[in-house]
Structure formats: C-alpha cells, structure tokens
C-alpha cells in the first residue's frame, strides 16, 4: 500500500509522469526521453509515493490514469504549457514591450459588437490581442485554467461553483432590429411591419443564445408564426447567410450602420422590447489586468450602449 508522505518530488518526477500520461505507457515515454523504461518507472513511483496516491492503473497493454492521476495530469498540463511559453515571454520582454490580452468571445456574441466593446483597449501601443471564440461553457473552462484574461458574452457567469470565483460586469446593451437584403426588404414593403415577417423567410439564433427566448416571446406577443428557414449558433454565420438572401435576421441595432455597410443589407424594422446585453466575465484577482480594468471602466466606450 502507498502511504502518504511529505511531498518531496521534483519537477523531473512530474515531467516524467506527464509524458507517460500523454504517451499512454512507460515504454513510449522512455523512448521519447531517451531513457531506460526502469528509470522512468522509478521516477513515477517516487512521485506516487510522495503524493500518497496511485496515479496509473493497468488498461489493456497500456496504462490509464486513476482519478488522482487525472487531477495530477491537469495540473501538470497547465504547468508545462506555461513552461513552454516561457522562452517566448522572455524574448518578447527583452525586445519589444508587449502587453498581452487574451480574450474569450462567446460564439453567440455579434462580432461587430465585440469590436465596439474592445475599442477602449485597442489604442494600447504595444497590444498583442489573443482572441479565442468558443461556446460559453468552454470559455469559462479556459478562464478557470487562467488561459484567458476576460470573457465577453451575452450573459453573466452562473452562480459560484466550488472554489472558482468569477465576476460579471455588464458592459451595456442594445435593442434588436430586423435586417435583410434589399430584395427581401422591398418584398415586405406592401405589408405593415412586423406582420410583413409572415411573408418572409426568417433566420434565427439557435436556442443557446440568450436572445432566442426573447425573440420567441416577441413573436407570440405579435401573434406571428414566422417561416424559420435557418438557425445558427454562430452569429457571424447567421449574418453571412442573411446577406446571401436566405432570410431576414435579427441583429443589434447598436451596429446597424456597420452591419448595412459590411453585409449590404437594409433595416426592415425594430424589434421593440427585445434587447441583447453584453457582459465581461473574469476571475476575481487581487491585481487585475490593466487592460481589463480599462475595458470594465468603459474608457472611450462606443455610443449606443446602455449600462
């Protein structure tokens, strides 16, 4: 039986364990390291003895992680990913003063709005902006691993879970309006809006977007039964297909002018009573990233957003 001892492992022990976990076996890890299998095995056993728990269990001809091993691997993965970034960070610091900002962008958030929200930090002289788009839950997982400085989304963070403490800061909101190609907008001109939507193909965000429930309720209030021809998880795809004439679509009125210029569409009518909110989410820290502070304070905030 493995007994708990005072941790005394080195990063060499952790590195060997990490490679065994990634390679799925002692032999493949030893080959990659250029060492004897017995040497790698001994280092892993020392790590297990130091931690007081078995990290591997047999799985066919290879090895699989135990629950304790999975927890150790997740921490090791983070440590060695940071270590791989060290040379680049040192080189950048020694040559050009770079201010890195890693931003997660929810796939449901309009990209033109994201650009507007980011304006307070884009004037930073030595900014290196790293943007990562994903589903909301995936971004929160990246935030928990400290791979992102802030997440921009259409909803606040869920209630606290475990030891992870997040803040949610409302950056603003925008009313929604309906847009479409000139052909579709002209086709609806003979009927009063919003009843003209009954005569047009309609594109909608999928149910994962917070605006979808509000749009469905808006249809009910106006006794409308739209002909939905497309649902999209990604807001940019929705607009691209809308610009191609597949159907009319809702979008934030905040960026209506840019939307019309970029996609060649026209305003059909306003979706009165429905708005989209924009949130910044981050982990609570004693020292906040200065550019995140600037983002939250709304320095040079774009016109049209409401807090």
pLDDT tens, residue by residue, 142-173: 998 889 999 999 999 988 766 678 899 999 99
Residue 65 pLDDT greater than 70, yes or no: yes
* CATH, residue 252: 3.40.190.10
Torsion of CA 228, 233, 235, 237, to 10 degrees: -80
Distance CA 256, CA 212 (A): 19
Residue 301 pLDDT exceeds 50? no
Output the pLDDT for position 307. Answer: 57
Per-residue pLDDT for 88 more than 70? Answer: yes
Q: Is 136's pLDDT higher than 50?
A: yes
Indicate whether 178 and 270 sit together in one domain.
yes
pLDDT of residue 8: 62
Whole-angstrom distance, CA of residue 76 vs CA of residue 168: 29
Other CB atoms within 10 Å distance of the CB of residue 16: 24
Residue 255 and residue 267 in contact, taking contact as beta carbons nearer than 8 Å: no
| Same-domain check for residues 189 and 273 | yes
Quick check: 271 and 259 in contact, CB under 8 A? no
End-to-end CA distance of the chain: 59
pTM to 2 decimals? 0.65
> Which position has the higher pLDDT, 190 or 30?
30
**Residue 20's CATH number:** 1.10.10.10
Average pLDDT over residues 222-237: 94
At 288, the pLDDT band (50, 70, 90 cuts) reads confident
Taking residues 164-189, what's their average pLDDT? 91
pLDDT exceeds cutoff 90 at 271:
yes
Q: Which candidate, 181, 177, 201, places its Cα nearest to that of 110? A: 177
Segment 219-234 mean pLDDT: 94
Share the mean pLDDT of the chain: 87
Say if CB 56 and CB 20 are below 8 A apart: yes
Does 36 share its domain with 52? yes
Confidence class for position 305, pLDDT limits 50, 70, 90: low
Nearest Cα residue to 147 out of 102, 92, 105, 107: 102
> Domain for residue 303, yes or no?
no
**123 CB-side CA count, 13 A:** 9
Mean predicted confidence (pLDDT) in 6-22: 80
**Co-location of 40 and 16 in the same domain:** yes
Band of pLDDT at residue 96, cut at 50, 70 and 90:
low
3-state secondary structure at position 297: helix
User: Which structural domain range is residue 111 located in?
Assistant: 97-172+278-298
Query: Total domain count for the chain?
Result: 3
β-bridge mates for residue 267, sequence order: 179
Size of the chain, expressed as the number of residues it contains: 307
Q: Considering only CA atoms, which of 174, 150, 132 is closest in space to residue 258?
A: 174
């Amino acid at each position: 039986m493995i007994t708990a001892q005072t941790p005394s492992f080195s990063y060499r022990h952790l590195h060997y364990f990490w490679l065994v976990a990634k390679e799925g076996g002692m032999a493949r890890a030893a080959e990659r390291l250029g060492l004897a299998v017995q040497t790698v095995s001994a280092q892993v056993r020392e790590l297990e003895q130091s931690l007081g728990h078995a990290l591997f269990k047999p799985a066919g001809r290879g090895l699989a992680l135990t629950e304790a091993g999975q927890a150790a691997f997740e921490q090791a993965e983070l440590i060695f990913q940071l270590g791989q970034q060290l040379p680049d960070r040192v080189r950048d610091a020694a040559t050009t003063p770079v201010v890195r900002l890693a931003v997660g962008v929810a796939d449901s958030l309009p990209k033109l709005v994201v650009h507007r929200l980011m304006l307070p930090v884009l004037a930073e002289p030595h900014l290196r902006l790293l943007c990562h788009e994903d589903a909301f839950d995936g971004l929160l997982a990246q935030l928990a691993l400290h791979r992102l400085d802030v997440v921009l989304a259409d909803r606040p963070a869920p209630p606290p879970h475990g030891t992870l403490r997040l803040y949610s800061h409302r950056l603003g909101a925008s009313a929604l309006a309906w847009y479409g190609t000139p052909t579709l907008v002209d086709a609806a001109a003979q009927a009063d809006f919003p009843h003209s939507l009954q005569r047009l193909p309609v594109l909608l965000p999928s149910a994962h977007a917070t605006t979808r429930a509000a749009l469905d309720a808006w249809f009910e209030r106006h006794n409308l039964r739209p002909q939905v021809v497309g649902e999209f998880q990604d807001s940019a795809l929705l607009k691209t297909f809308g610009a191609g004439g597949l159907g009319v679509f809702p979008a934030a009125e905040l960026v209506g002018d840019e939307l019309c210029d970029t996609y060649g569409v026209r305003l059909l009518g306003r979706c009165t009573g429905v708005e989209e909110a924009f949130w910044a989410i981050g982990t609570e820290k004693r020292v906040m990233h200065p550019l995140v502070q600037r983002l939250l304070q709304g320095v040079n905030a774009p016109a049209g957003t409401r807090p």
